[in-house]
Amino acid sequence: MALSRRRFLYGLGGTGLIFVFDLSCARETPTPPVLLPAEGDDEEALVAAATSARFDYRGWLVIAGDGTVTAHTGRMELGQGLKTVLYDVICQAFELPREKVELIMGDTALCPNDGPTTGSNATRGVAWRYWMACHAVKSRLLDEAARRLSVAREELVYRAGEISVRDGTRRPLGIGRIGTGVRELSEADLESAAGDLPSYVDKQNPSVEAEAIVTGTKQYAGDVMAGECLYGAFLLPDYHAPRTRLLSLDLSPAEEVPDVVRVDRLGDSVAAVGRTFTAVQKALAAVAAEWQAPPYPPDFDNETEIRRRRKLSRMIRDKGDVEGALAASDHVVTESFVTQYATPAPIETHTAVAAASRRETTAWVATQNPFQARERIARTLEVPEERVRVVGMPPGGGFGEKASGSVGDRAAALSSLVGKPVKFVYSRRAHFQQDLKYKHSVVLDITTGVSSEGKILVRTIDFHQGHGRGTRKLYEVPAERSRLFRSEIGVQNAIMRGTSYTQTIYALESHTEMVARSIGLDAIEFRRRNVSESAFLPLLDRCAEMLGYGVDLPPGRGHGFGICYHGVHQYAVVGAEVAVDRTTGEITVTKLRGAYDIGKVMNRNTATMGIKGAMIWGLSYALFEEARFDAHRSHMEAFADYRIPRFADIPEIEIDFLQTHRPEVPRGCGEVPVPPTVAAICNAVYDATGRRFYTLPMTPERVRTALSR
């Protein structure tokens, strides 16, 4: 880290250039311009300015005196391949080998706060923006070199980190020796670079992390200070928020555990610090503590409670003559769908190491959002944020769950309690019980009216819970009404891979195939007649072809599809083949096929891995995952209580990229595969059994019960 900081200062100081540009394209409102410190200002002041809140959503490219190009970003590598893609982009734009490019991610002392890493906007919002910025930087370097060498800019060429005069009369000038100071790239600079951007070539490089990962040398938060710090943990009530009061407490048995350093009450929780992870766990197990239970009755029927407590949150869409269109429809289909609660359950539990003092605190946190972790730590320790440095460590799986959370501030509290560095690794049970958030259960009532020619005339949707998103740009619907209801249930909502579109698309696309069947139309043909975006047409054909759709399947087998539009022009069609065992109720997904139009694929290796993984998330949501809890607490303590996919569940998966819509620009692909996969599997199960499952997941018990009726 010290080296990186020197490098950063080196770039800022007398011998290099720093370029700053707006990265806020992923947000609705652009970042307001800032006043940069003037050239030659004190280096520390520049770093302070660079990492202050005023620089939110800015990207940094630093060209050091030796010609090394370093990007500083607050974004995190989550396994989505962002690091690989950023290296690919910068190396390719500057024609530099890997060794001449550096990437500093997620360190609040060295990186601008360019937002949490969630959703699928990382390649679209960050990597492509860097691609444009790199070219804008090259153009500025040519301008400055022309001035410096007193030659016309047209006489200069950039190649591989050097600028040379075409006629060869002078020695080439390294890009580290062109100038010094800070330069802001304006939106106009980026746009003009975008105007004649060379096409980005996917060289299909292996992940930059590959060697470290396969040798076990990639550093995660838990690997920091191995053998050099204490361990700590908190004993908290297992209840959901709101927090309950500690009624009685006996710490003495815990203090007897060997290797325990300190056991103490902290507010309404118990903190233990010891020399080993095991000692701390044993100490907490020995604590006798009793908490006041929450006041409300523990059990409730989810769907009933959601419906009973509903309040209209907003009218999402209200267009055309809905009642008239319903009356004019040849067929009207009405259905209700209920989705389960789910939780991300990464393999790495919440983990952080903190070395806290009032003067200066450093914390290494497994997080998707280092700046939020810094804010929480500062608040917990009651110190200004400038005194806290969070080194964001790449999570061993985050999936939304590590975009917020308390592990950093809890580790800091433990560290300040004992005045030494403390590592806090959540036990699996604590991870499943404490501060748990859930992907929400959504109840959807959908009605569609169609003509006998197979055209959708009208649709109404009532969403209960969730955001009511995911229906846009799928089908041409002349008359439409959709409303969002919210119900106070007291369960914390989680962001989770697949977005809120998952619940919507499961319901809507299941419904779509039921509507098609109601008029005897084929599922692909019905979609062809109704999709509002022509980009779907080739995808539908390609996906059907990959699946082998149209041939007769043996009994107990079925085919189904789902489509999804997400983010900015991400189109997906997924097809599934399933086999259903009527006696056991077991559903086996035998094939998954996906056709995607997501624009430019930046790195096929990491993109393909990510898309197949996301399709498996869809499979899991359809068949396995169901968070169990009551109004008091989570009922999950271990992976045995929360089924996630295993090797034996994995079908053959094939995907294809079709680039019909603006193929030169990447549009992201992290989440769009999840929702249509859920629907495709549900539709395939219907095709195989003639039964529609209106509640997820389709567990063997549910299937068995339904089929024996």
Partner 1 sequence: MARRTLSLRVNGKRRRVSVEPDEPLLWVLRDELRLTGTKFGCGLGQCGACKVLIDGRPIWSCMTPVEAVADGREIVTIEGLGQPGNLSPVQEAFKTHTAFGCGFCTPSMIIEATALLRDTPRPTRAQIVARMNGHLCRCAAYPNIIAAIQSAAASGDGGEEA
Residues that bind ligand FES (CB under 6 A): 79, 347, 397
The tokens for 83 are 């690091």
Q: From CA 559, how far away is CA 578, in angstroms rounded?
A: 7
Measured at the CA of 117, the angle between CA 113 and CA 119, to 5 degrees, comes to 140
Of residues 116 and 454, the one with the C-beta less far from partner 1: 116
Q: From CA 270, how far away is CA 235, in angstroms rounded?
A: 5
Farthest-apart Cα atoms in the chain, separation: 88
**Position 47 contacts partner 1 (CB under 8 A):** no
Minimum Å gap between C-beta 79 and ligand FES is 5
- Sites for partner 1 among residues 610-629 (CB under 8 A): 610, 612-614, 616-617, 620
DSSP track, 401-418: GGGS-SHHHHHHHHHHHH
**Position 707 contacts partner 1 (CB under 8 A):** no
Q: Tell me the C-alpha to C-alpha distance, in Å, between residue 651 and each of 13, 584, 692.
A: 55, 19, 22
Of residues 253 and 397, the one with the C-beta less far from ligand FES: 397
Which of partner 1, ligand FES, none does residue 78 bind (CB under 5 to 8 Å by kind)?
partner 1
Of residues 209 and 654, the one with the C-beta less far from ligand FES: 209
Element (H, E) at 333: strand 331-338
Which region, judged by CB under 8 A, interacts with partner 1, from 6-14, 109-117, 382-390, 600-608?
Answer: 600-608
Q: Please check whether residue 684 is in contact with residue 558, taking contact to mean a CB–CB distance below 8 angstroms.
A: yes
Minimum Å gap between C-beta 680 and partner 1 is 16
- Sites for partner 1 among residues 240-299 (CB under 8 A): 258-259, 276-279
Beta 101-105 vs 69-73: how paired, if at all? parallel
3-state per-residue secondary structure call for 136-157: HHHHHHHHHHHHHHCCCHHHEE
**Those residues with Cβ within 8 angstroms of residue 600's Cβ, 6 or more apart along the chain or in another chain:** 200, 202, 659, 663, 664, 665, 666, 667
**Number of chain positions touching partner 1 (CB under 8 A):** 63
Which residue in 648, 690, 701, 708 binds partner 1 (CB under 8 A)?
Answer: 648
36: which DSSP letter? Answer: P
Query: What is the rounded end-to-end Cα distance, in angstroms, of the chain?
Result: 64
Going along 126-229, which residue ranges are E strands?
156-159, 162-165, 173-174, 181-184
Measured at the CA of 621, the angle between CA 620 and CA 623, to 5 degrees, comes to 65
Which residue in 192, 313, 493, 605 binds partner 1 (CB under 8 A)?
Answer: 605
Minimum Å gap between C-beta 352 and ligand FES is 19
Minimum Å gap between C-beta 389 and partner 1 is 22
Q: Please check whether residue 416 is in contact with residue 424, taking contact to mean a CB–CB distance below 8 angstroms.
A: no
Minimum Å gap between C-beta 255 and partner 1 is 16
Which of ligand FES, partner 1, none does residue 596 bind (CB under 5 to 8 Å by kind)?
none
Minimum Å gap between C-beta 610 and partner 1 is 7
Which of ligand FES, partner 1, none does residue 644 bind (CB under 5 to 8 Å by kind)?
partner 1
**Position 220 contacts partner 1 (CB under 8 A):** yes
Which region, judged by CB under 8 A, interacts with partner 1, from 30-38, 205-213, 380-388, 657-665?
Answer: 205-213
Q: Tell me the C-alpha to C-alpha distance, in Å, between residue 669 and each of 209, 439, 481.
A: 20, 20, 29
Minimum Å gap between C-beta 315 and ligand FES is 41
Q: From CA 669, how far away is CA 606, in angstroms rounded?
A: 11
Minimum Å gap between C-beta 97 and partner 1 is 16
**Position 79 contacts partner 1 (CB under 8 A):** yes
The tokens for 194 are 């975008």
Of residues 261 and 403, the one with the C-beta less far from ligand FES: 403
**Position 80 contacts partner 1 (CB under 8 A):** yes
Which of ligand FES, partner 1, none does residue 599 bind (CB under 5 to 8 Å by kind)?
none
Q: Please check whether residue 592 is in contact with residue 614, taking contact to mean a CB–CB distance below 8 angstroms.
A: no
Which of partner 1, ligand FES, none does residue 35 bind (CB under 5 to 8 Å by kind)?
none
Which of ligand FES, partner 1, none does residue 80 bind (CB under 5 to 8 Å by kind)?
partner 1
Which residue in 227, 384, 554, 690 binds partner 1 (CB under 8 A)?
Answer: 227
Of residues 264 and 637, the one with the C-beta less far from ligand FES: 637
Minimum Å gap between C-beta 227 and ligand FES is 19
Q: From CA 464, how far away is CA 219, in angstroms rounded?
A: 42
Q: From CA 116, how far away is CA 122, in angstroms rounded?
A: 10
Minimum Å gap between C-beta 431 and partner 1 is 9
What count of residues does the chain have? 709
**Position 394 contacts partner 1 (CB under 8 A):** yes
Of residues 484 and 614, the one with the C-beta less far from partner 1: 614
Beta 361-366 vs 351-355: how paired, if at all? antiparallel
Which of ligand FES, partner 1, none does residue 11 bind (CB under 5 to 8 Å by kind)?
none
Residue with structure tokens 């900081």?
5
Going along 178-279, which residue ranges are E strands?
181-184, 230-235, 246-250, 260-266, 269-274
Minimum Å gap between C-beta 636 and ligand FES is 15
Of residues 64 and 257, the one with the C-beta less far from partner 1: 257
Of residues 72 and 497, the one with the C-beta less far from ligand FES: 497
Which region, judged by CB under 8 A, interacts with partner 1, from 119-127, 393-401, 449-457, 519-527?
Answer: 393-401
The tokens for 178 are 């062109």
Q: Of 317, 610, 598, 613, which Cα lies nearest the Cα of 470?
A: 317
- Give me the residue whose beta carbon is nearest to ligand FES: 347
Cβ neighbours around 171 below 10 Å, total = 9
Which residue in 67, 222, 237, 294 binds partner 1 (CB under 8 A)?
Answer: 222
Minimum Å gap between C-beta 397 and ligand FES is 5
Which residue in 29, 169, 199, 217 binds partner 1 (CB under 8 A)?
Answer: 217
Please tell me whether residue 220 adopts helix, strand or coil conformation.
coil
- Residue 109's Cα: distance from chain center in Å? 23
- Sites for partner 1 among residues 326-355 (CB under 8 A): 344-349
Minimum Å gap between C-beta 380 and ligand FES is 29
The tokens for 482 are 């959709």
Minimum Å gap between C-beta 613 and ligand FES is 8
3-state per-residue secondary structure call for 585-638: CCEEEEEEEEEEECECCCCHHHHHHHHHHHHHHHHHHHHCCCCCECCCEECCCC
- Residues forming the site for partner 1 (CB under 8 A): 78-80, 206-207, 209-220, 222-223, 226-227, 258-259, 276-279, 344-349, 394-399, 425, 427-428, 605-606, 608-610, 612-614, 616-617, 620, 638-640, 644-648, 650, 653
